[in-house]
Amino acid sequence: MAKIKTRQRMGWIAIGFHWTMLICTVGLWTPVYLAARRRRVTVTHIPDGYTGPLPPTR
């Protein structure tokens, strides 16, 4: 026999709490993500005598 399951809707306080936690979590992890992204460095080997276009440098 099939079982019937029902869910109650979340109240306004619970909805507000969940959205606050989502926004705070994104706010906490954004600096970590940006710091890790800044740390990645690409090293390009340019052979001696190369006269073609050069990659941009900072």
Section 12-19 average pLDDT: 93
Q: What's the pLDDT score for residue 58?
A: 62
Spatial distance between the Cα atoms of 17 and 38, rounded to a whole number of angstroms: 32
Q: What's the pLDDT score for residue 41?
A: 72
Q: What's the pLDDT score for residue 20?
A: 93
Condensed to tens digits (0 to 9), the pLDDT of residues 28-54 reads: 899 988 888 887 777 777 888 888 887
- 26: Cα within 13 Å, side-chain hemisphere: 5
Does pTM surpass 0.85?
Answer: no
Q: Say if residue 56's pLDDT is above 80.
A: no
